[in-house]
Amino acid sequence: MTKIRYIGILVSLCIAVSFASAKGVEGATSLPAVSSDVLGSSASSEMSAGGSPAAIPAPLPQSVPETQPTTVSPDAAAEIASLESPSSESPEELQAAPLEENGEEPDLSQLQPEELTIEEQAKNLQYDIPMPWSHELFEKYRQYYLSDKGRKILLSTMEKAAPFMDYIQSKVTEYGVPQELAYLPVIESAFSPFAVSRSGATGIWQFMRNSIGGYGMTITEWVDDRRDFMKSTDAALNKLIDNYNDLKDWPLAIAAYNAGLGALRRAVDAAGGDTDFWNIYDKGLVSRQALDYVPKFLAVASILRYPELYGLELPSSHIRWEAIPLDRQVDIKLLAAKAEIPLDTLKLGNAELHYTITPPENAHLLKIPADKSEEVKAILSDPNAPLVRYEIYKVKEGDTLTAISKRYGISISMIAKVNAGLNPDRLKIGQKLMIPLSLQPLQPSSGSAGGAGGARTAIHTIQKGDTLYGLARRYGTTAQKLANLNGIYLDSVLRIGQKLKVPAAP
């Protein structure tokens, strides 16, 4: 009976497997339910306490019964084995299988975001001063500066800005003001330290003579600090900060930089205390120039703040400057030659100088390329290194300091400063005076167009007070060369209205 019971169990299992295959059941993880009628009470007693089937002992070898035992095919045996060994993959793992393993390509087209236009991307960027998107004049200026012509203007301007941008941006960061303010000189001066407006505003930041008080700048016979890119940058940012602290709005502060703080205060009062520039703009409470100034600047700043968005490759800042205090006068032409620095570089960094010679005061800071710092310091520390060119003048009978100053075209105070202990009222015959020949203008003036064989020349008409030495400094040459060019002597008397050849501007 025991044999028959085992055979019956096997037959029941085969029937269950065949039935499951016919129904397309896959991945079964437990034995199919078997009728208790087939298994009988003995099978129930052979289940483990946990409800799992107990191991079925292998039958002992017996003699073959009269009836033929049911045979199990290899395929059925494999099915039985699979039922007894559940799959190691959980349903969650099966569901997470990559689609391509099932031969299906994933369609991600619906997941791709639509491409944003440049304008849409620009509006999504971060600005320290909110941009007036959709403002008519602002958008017109943006359209202009993004045109071919406008792009060329911006690139050319930023080429001029390159020597100064490192310093300006470092100061913008130091003062914690909006990053956009670094680009204000674009519309002020196109970053030219020598720029002078029709109203007399001067330098990169275009300061008027009467607006420098309290901002650490001076104007003397030796220097004009409005052209000093370091001093004027600090002054401009401090002035903008003062405007903002007073008006509580950056566009208003920028408008005040152009029209004056007083004008914007009156506009705010007229608007009933409204400190929103765009409301004041709509009401036209300040000059049209000041109203247009802000949208124009913001249009430029919105582009230059993120130039890569518009395909603009701005030139990098190629000069890092170092300011060195001087303890004596220095002719930057001589220093440039000794330190092998391009003269134009020193002129650009020290544009505040009226002449190629530094002031006699010891407090002056000379700006040099930082990579030339060691060479310059070594030259300045050598007391025997001639850094200023002088002419020795021997006082003759009848000379006065006034006459000598007119002869050389320099002021009495300049002669006195380089001749320690000089008493202007008590010149002695035979007394020797040092006359600084390095006193040539940093930026030579140009004369009327003219020419002759060889070097290009221009014509200068002698006016009251003109001297060969004064004209030589004005046109960037020497008195002796002027005399030779015109076939006269150094002591020749110049007559008002006389025509002299002078070097033409390059």
Neighbouring CB atoms inside 10 A of 475's CB total 24
Residue 442 within any structural domain of the chain: no
Residues 6+ apart with CB under 8 A from 288: none
Residue whose entry in the numeric block shows the structure tokens 């401090």: 238
- Quick one: 211 and 169 in the same domain? yes
From 86, 112, 133, give the residue that closes a domain: 86
- Domain coverage including residue 27: 2-86
Residue 3 token pair: 């044999």
Residue 240 within a domain: yes
- Residue 113 belongs to some domain of the structure: no
Phi, psi torsion values for 209, nearest 5 degrees: -60, -35
Q: How large is the C-alpha radius of gyration of the chain?
A: 46
* Res 184: pLDDT: 98
Examine the domain organization and report whether 157 and 273 are in the same domain: yes
User: How many whole angstroms separate alpha carbon 310 and alpha carbon 300?
Assistant: 12
For residue 104, is it within any domain? no
DSSP one-letter string for 202-230: BTTTTB-GGG-TTTT--B-SSBBGGG-HH
Same structural domain for residues 303 and 247? yes
Instruction: Round to whole Å and give the CA distance between 133 and 250.
Output: 16
Judgement on whether residues 149 and 205 belong to the same structural domain of the protein: yes
Examine residue 112 and state whether it is found in any structural domain, yes or no: no
Residue 114 lies in a domain: no
Same-domain pairing of 167 and 244: yes
Say yes or no: 420 and 454 in one domain. no
Distance from the Cα of residue 343 to its chain's centroid: 26
State the 10-residue block means of pLDDT for the chain, 506 residues long. 54 54 44 39 39 42 46 51 46 41 51 74 96 97 97 97 96 98 98 92 96 94 94 98 98 97 97 96 94 97 97 90 92 94 96 90 89 96 85 89 81 80 88 80 52 64 84 78 80 85 75
Cβ proximity of 434 and 390 under 8 Å: yes
Q: What span, in angstroms and rounded, lies between the C-alpha atoms of 462 and 449?
A: 16
225: which 2 tokens?
């600090």
Residues 188, 221, 340, 391: which is the catalytic one? Answer: 188
β-strand 432-436 against 448-449: which pairing, if any? unpaired
| Distance, first Cα to last Cα, the chain | 126
Looking up residue 216, the CATH number of its domain turns out to be: 1.10.530.10
Last residue of a domain, one of 310, 343, 369: 310
Same domain as 210, residue 285: yes
Give the per-residue pLDDT at 247. Answer: 97
Q: How far apart are CA 479 and CA 321, in angstroms?
A: 34
- 303 and 205 in a common domain: yes
Tokens of 421: 């202990």
What CATH number does the domain containing 399 carry? Answer: 3.10.350.10
Both 148 and 226 in one domain: the answer is yes
Domain boundary among 39, 64, 86: 86
Instruction: Say what the pLDDT of residue 15 is.
Output: 57
Distance between CA atoms of residues 326 and 367, nearest Å: 10
- In b/e form, how buried is each residue of 179-200, taking b as 16+ CB within 10 angstroms? bbbbbbbbbbbebbbebeeeee
User: Considering its fold, how many domains does the chain have in total?
Assistant: 5
Residue 188 among the catalytic residues: yes
- Do both 45 and 191 map to the same domain? no
Q: What does the pLDDT read at residue 68?
A: 47
Q: Which residue has the tokens 């087939």?
A: 38
| Residue 360 within any structural domain of the chain | yes
On whether both 284 and 352 belong to a single domain, the answer is no
Q: Examine residue 171 and state whether it is found in any structural domain, yes or no.
A: yes
Q: Write phi, then psi, for 410 (nearest 5 degrees).
A: -125, 160
The reply to whether 415 and 457 lie within a common domain is: no
